[in-house]
Amino acid sequence: MTQKTDTQNRLKQVLAHLKSLGKRLTPQRIAIIKAIIDHPGHPTAEQIHQAILPHYPTVSLATVYKTINLLKAADEILDLEFHDYGSRYDARRPHPHPHLICTRCGVIMDTELADIETLTDGLARKAGFSASSFRLDIFGLCPKCTQK
């Protein structure tokens, strides 16, 4: 219930932002963005495409990529580029946050670390950098795979 209204609000938020940027809200875009936000995990472009096909059988994978790039330009999506697990997207929480990746089953979990930006900013400043973003991936075994 709360879950549902959350994703609905997030969808409205993203669509409003795109509109304010002068972008057109085509049915394809709305369907793609909805699919990304509704996905419980961190879907690949292919998975997003598959989720939409039942509703819009003519939507092409190219349009999915174009929409993802649109969202990236608007800072409304997080693009996790893995060579081993493909590019994964997160439009629910576009703000950078650490991820835990299971090297056995490939599951990706979100985490939070309150002072992470203080830490990365400090590291950057020491070297004369001005930090604007970060990415922290922690690889290991998830609870299920640890047991086995």
* Interacting residue ranges for DNA, rule: CB under 7 A: 19, 23-29, 44-46, 56, 58-63, 65-69, 81, 86-87
Q: Is 102 annotated as a binding residue?
A: yes
Please give the Cα distance from 88 to 23 (Å, whole number). 24
Q: How far is the CB of 27 from a second copy (least distance, A)?
A: 29
105: annotated binding-site residue?
yes
The answer to whether 81 is annotated as binding is: no
Selection from a second copy, DNA, none that 25 binds (CB < 5 to 8 A by kind) is DNA
Taking the C-alpha atoms of residue 96 and residue 116, their distance in angstroms, rounded to an integer, is 10
Give yes or no for residue 8 binding a second copy (CB under 8 A).
no
Residue 55 binds a second copy, judged by CB under 8 A: no
- What are the structure tokens assigned to 133, written together? 């973003």
Q: Which among 70, 60, 74 is positioned nearest to 28, based on CA atoms?
A: 60
Which position among 9, 26, 111, 118 is part of the footprint of a second copy (CB under 8 A)? 111
Q: Does 123 bind a second copy (CB under 8 A)?
A: yes
Q: Identify which of residues 30 and 136 has a Cβ nearer to a second copy in the complex.
A: 136
| Whether the Cβ atoms of residue 99 and residue 137 lie closer than 8 Å to each other | yes
Query: Is 17 buried (19+), middle (13-18) or exposed (0-12) by CB count in 10 A?
Result: middle
Return the H-helix or E-strand segment holding 117: helix 116-126
**Looking at residue 40, what DSSP letter applies?**
S
Q: Are 110 and 39 in contact (CB under 8 A)?
A: no
* Residue ranges that bind a second copy, judged by CB under 8 A: 81-83, 87, 98, 100, 102-103, 109, 111, 113, 119-120, 123-124, 126-143, 146
Q: Please report, in range form, the residues annotated as the binding site for Zn(2+).
A: 102, 105, 142, 145
